[in-house]
Amino acid sequence: MAVSKRASSSPASSGEAAFEPTRAARRHLVQPWPVAGEIGDEARGLIGEGDGVHVSDGEGNWLIDGPAGMWCVNVGHRRRELAEVLHDQAMALSYNSPWYTMNEPSARLAERIAAHAPGDLDHVFFTTGGSTAVESALRFMQFYNNVRGRPEKKVILSRGGAYHGSTFLSASLNGRPRDRDWMDGVDDLVVKLSCPDPFRRPAGMSVESFSDKLVAEFAETVERIAAERIGAFVGEPIMASGGVIVPPPDYLKRIAAICRDNDILFVSDEVVTAFGRLGEVFASQSVFGIEPDIITFAKGVTSGYFPLGGMVVSARLFDEIRRSNRSEAMYAHGLTYSSHPVGCAVALKNLDLLEGGILEHAREIAPYFQDRLKSLEELPLVGEVRGAGLMACVECVADRESRNPLTLDKEVGKRIDAHCHELGLLVRPLIHMCVMSPPLIITREQIDRMVAILHEGISRTMDDLR
C-alpha cells in the first residue's frame, strides 16, 4: 500500500502537535542556492513578520532588514496601502489571459513606466521577475535581429562579477565564479569581459587608466568577434550581487557609445537599481548619463509585495520590426503571468508611495548612509566600503596592503552575519563581503544603529579569527 502524505493542518483543528516550520522545510522545501552537501536538507533561519525596516526571526527578535529582503522591499514592510490594493484588485479581477485580453492596471503601469524611462524607451513588457525580464530582453534581441535579416547577430557580451538571473540564458551571463562552477550555460552565445571593479584594478594603476583598459578591452572584443555577430551588451549599472561594484566614472557612457556605433543593443539591467535604490525611478540616464535600448526591472517595482518584472524598450526597435518585411513573424514569447493585474495594481500604488516622498527621502539620506558606513574602514578587517544611493558593500580583506581576500576565512561574511543577527541586524553575506541595501524609508537613527551593530559584529569576527 502506498504511504499517504498528508499536509499538516492547524493543531487547533486537528489536535496534532504544533507545526514546526523549520522541520517541515528541511524535509520538503527546496531552498534557492543550496550546496550539494545540504541540498534538500538545509537549515535556514525563519523570518516571522515584517514591519517598516524591521523583520522578526523565529524567536520573535526584531532585526533591521539590512538587505531589504533581496534588494526589494523598497517602501518597507507592512504597508497597509499595498495590502489593500492586493486585496481590492484580487476581488475586482484576479487574473486575465494576456494572450487574448488586456487589463487596465497593466496599461496604466506601462504608461507610467514609459513616462519615467529615458529617451524613446516607451514600450513595456511585463514578466514575473528579474530573470524573466533579462530572458525576455535577450529573446527580443534575437527576434529583432532575425526579422531584420541578421540571424548571425546574436552574441551577448557580459562581464565577470555580473548577476542576471537563474533562467538558462540569463544565468549564462552570470560572471560570479560560484554561479557557474557547477552549472552549465549557453557558452557559445556569451562572451565575458572583465569586471569593472576599481578596488581590484591592477596595482599601481589609476582609476582613469583602469577605465581606459576596460574600454579598450570592449572595443577589441567587438573588433575580434565582429559587430555583425554581436547582438547585445547586458550590464548592471552598478553590479549588485557581485559586491556593489560602482564602475569608474564615464565607463558606462563610453561602452554605450561603442554599442551605438556598432548597432549593439545596450541592455541596462536595473533589476536592483531602479525604483528608488539610487533615488530615481530609473538610474541609467539620471545617474549614469546613458540612454540604453532596453532597461530591465523587477524587485522594487512592487517592493517585493508581488512577483513582477519587465523590460522597457526603445520605440525605435519596435518601429524597425514593424518596418521589416516580415509581418508574419511572431515574437513567440509570453508568460501566463505577463501583465498580471494584481502585480500591476500593486506596482502603481508602490510608485505612488515612491513619488509621494520616498524617492526624495532616499536621495536626502543616501550621503549620510554612505558616510556612516564608510567609517567602518577604520577596522583592519575592512578593505573597502563602497556604494551609491542606498546600496553599499563592506568588503573584508586578509591584508589591507595587497587587498587579498583569498587567505581570509571563507566564512567571514557568515560570521559577521551571525554576530550581527545576535545584535539585531540582518546582513547579506557574500563570502567575504556584506551587502547593505535597507528599505528606503530608513531613518538616521536606524542607520546609526545599523552601523554600530556592524562595527561590533565585525570586531567580534576579528576576535574569532585571532
Site residues, ligand PLP (CB under 6 A) = 70, 129-131, 134, 163-166, 236, 240-241, 269, 271-272, 298, 309
Residue 93 φ then ψ, to 5°: -155, 110
CA dist., res. 344 & res. 346, Å (int): 5
Identity of the residue, 135 or 372, whose beta carbon is nearer to ligand PLP in the bound complex: 135
- The helix (run of H) or strand (run of E) holding residue 314 is strand 309-314
Write the DSSP assignment of 141-163 as a string of letters. Answer: HHHHHHHTT-TT--EEEEETT--
CA dist., res. 203 & res. 447, Å (int): 33
What is the smallest separation between the CB atom of 130 and ligand PLP, expressed in angstroms? 2
Identity of the residue, 300 or 457, whose beta carbon is nearer to ligand PLP in the bound complex: 300
Judge residue 332's burial from the number of C-beta atoms within 10 Å of its C-beta, 0-12 exposed, 13-18 middle, 19 or more buried: exposed
Identity of the residue, 153 or 164, whose beta carbon is nearer to ligand PLP in the bound complex: 164
Residue 372 φ then ψ, to 5°: -65, -40
Identity of the residue, 251 or 372, whose beta carbon is nearer to ligand PLP in the bound complex: 251
Identity of the residue, 71 or 251, whose beta carbon is nearer to ligand PLP in the bound complex: 71
Write the DSSP assignment of 105-145 as a string of letters. Answer: HHHHHHHHHHHHSSTTEEEEEEESSHHHHHHHHHHHHHHHH
Q: Which residues of 240-268 are buried (b: 16+ CB within 10 A; e: fewer)?
A: bbbbbbbbbeebbebbbebbeeeebbbbb
Contact 227, 262 (CB under 8 A): yes
Nearest one of 38, 55, 37, 36 to 46, comparing CA atoms: 55
Identity of the residue, 145 or 296, whose beta carbon is nearer to ligand PLP in the bound complex: 296
Identity of the residue, 174 or 461, whose beta carbon is nearer to ligand PLP in the bound complex: 174
What is the smallest separation between the CB atom of 296 and ligand PLP, expressed in angstroms? 7
The DSSP call for residue 48 is: E
What is the smallest separation between the CB atom of 70 and ligand PLP, expressed in angstroms? 6
Identity of the residue, 180 or 449, whose beta carbon is nearer to ligand PLP in the bound complex: 180
CA dist., res. 389 & res. 393, Å (int): 12
Identity of the residue, 134 or 440, whose beta carbon is nearer to ligand PLP in the bound complex: 134
Identity of the residue, 236 or 280, whose beta carbon is nearer to ligand PLP in the bound complex: 236
Question: Which residue type does 7 have?
Answer: A
Identity of the residue, 89 or 132, whose beta carbon is nearer to ligand PLP in the bound complex: 132
Residue 113 φ then ψ, to 5°: -65, -40
CA dist., res. 448 & res. 372, Å (int): 7
What is the smallest separation between the CB atom of 361 and ligand PLP, expressed in angstroms? 23
C-alpha cell at 382: 575592512
What is the smallest separation between the CB atom of 165 and ligand PLP, expressed in angstroms? 4
CA dist., res. 414 & res. 408, Å (int): 12
CA dist., res. 414 & res. 464, Å (int): 12
- Residue nearest to ligand PLP as judged by C-beta position: 130
CA atoms within 13 A on the CB side of 185: 25
